[in-house]
Amino acid sequence: MQLIRTISDLRAALKIERSRGKSIGFVPTMGYLHIGHLTLVKNSQQHCDVSVVSIFVNPTQFAPNEDLAQYPRDLPRDLKLLEEQGCDYVFAPDVNEMYPDGSGKTSIYVDAGELSSILMGALRPHHFRGVATVVSKLFNIVQPDKAFFGEKDYQQLAVIKRMVTDLNQPVDVIGVPTVREPDGLACSSRNSLLSAEDRAAAVILPQAMQLAQVLVDQGERSVASLRQAVVNKLQQEPRGEIEAVDIRDAETLAETAEQLTAPAVLLLTVRFGKTRLIDQHVLRF
């Protein structure tokens, strides 16, 4: 496994791989890796000849009042996990490499349009602009054949797919099902920021999603009723502060009709202390 710090060195290494006819798989991350990330790497290894993982905590997707400085980082640990997984290249640039003026900002952004202003985008303005911008930069640097993203960040995946389509980027974006802890909580780097009490309380998220699916299996199709049932379930856990409960079209993230007629995605945003957790479940019937 090679650790590469600069854009020029990574481009040179991957140019050699392509000259040998190798396909390139890419997993962009912000580090502090867990089994969910490693599952993305495994998918890359199954689909491509060479796998590249980036580790970069991107400042343009954090607002001034958000937790950029507190975001967990442990590069030696991440490198050990990736080496054990058999990853080929790790791209771990510093901020100055990705944003050369050193400010952690850029004068040109990729605007994700309406998809970036709804749901999580309404709670975190400009977040998806920063995500789309850094992923576009990384796609330009790596030039992968395929890129792998977790479905837990459902809206992010939709934004990246739209970006690739609208900008004619030659990348096949592949969503990988959410990896969960034994108690059902989605794997996330942010879980490490939870206190023991909040970590125990956070299991209410998968429980609420499971309840919604049970109701759909029993024939419930009213969006309002399903949403209220989820809210009621989440409110049973006083440590959780509900920020959003949304039911949207699973393909477009558009608002659904009053009655479900096609699969819809249930999107949860709940804060435990200072840590915001998100999760999703596609309601199928």
| pLDDT single digits (tens) 151-191 | 999 999 999 999 999 999 999 999 999 999 999 999 999 99
106 alpha-carbon distance from chain centroid: 22
Give which of 98, 21, 108, 18 is closest to 54, Cα–Cα: 98
Q: Is the pLDDT of residue 66 over 90?
A: no
Mean pLDDT confidence for 76-82 = 98
Indicate the annotated binding residues for beta-alanine: 61
Angle between helices 35-47 and 75-85 (to 10 degrees): 40
Q: Is the pLDDT of residue 112 over 90?
A: no
Give the per-residue pLDDT at 18: 98
Residues contacting residue 185 through CB under 8 Å, at least 6 positions apart: 191, 199, 202, 203, 205, 206
pLDDT category, 65, cuts 50, 70, 90? confident
10 Å Cβ neighbour count for 47?
A: 15
The answer to whether 47 is a known catalytic residue is no
Alpha helices in 48-85 (DSSP H): 75-85
Mean pLDDT confidence for 26-52 = 98
Q: Is the pLDDT of residue 92 over 90?
A: yes
Q: Is the pLDDT of residue 67 over 80?
A: no
Give which of 236, 238, 261, 234 is closest to 250, Cα–Cα: 261
Tens-place pLDDT, residues 10-32: 999 999 999 999 999 999 999 99
Tens-place pLDDT, residues 239-261: 999 999 999 999 999 999 999 99
The verdict on domain 2-176 having CATH code 3.20.20.140 is: no
pLDDT category, 80, cuts 50, 70, 90? very high
Question: How is residue 180 annotated by DSSP?
Answer: B
Indicate the annotated binding residues for ATP: 30-37, 150-153, 179, 187-190
Give the per-residue pLDDT at 255: 94
| CB-based contact 175:150 (threshold 8 Å) | yes
Residues contacting residue 111 through CB under 8 Å, at least 6 positions apart: 129, 132
Tens-place pLDDT, residues 206-227: 999 999 999 999 999 999 999 9
Indicate the annotated binding residues for (R)-pantoate: 61, 156
Q: Which CATH class is domain 191-283?
A: alpha beta
Question: How is residue 145 annotated by DSSP?
Answer: S
Could you say which of 37, 126, 127, 281 is catalytic? 37
Intervals of CATH 3.30.1300.10 along the chain:
191-283
CA distance 131 to 156: 8
Indicate the annotated binding residues: 30-37, 61, 150-153, 156, 179, 187-190
Give which of 179, 175, 170 is closest to 156, Cα–Cα: 175
Positions of E strands within the chain? 2-4, 24-29, 50-55, 89-91, 146-150, 172-176, 240-249, 264-272, 275-283
Tens-place pLDDT, residues 114-156: 999 999 999 999 899 999 999 999 999 999 999 999 999 999 9
Intervals of CATH 3.40.50.620 along the chain:
2-176
Tokens of 18: 């392509």
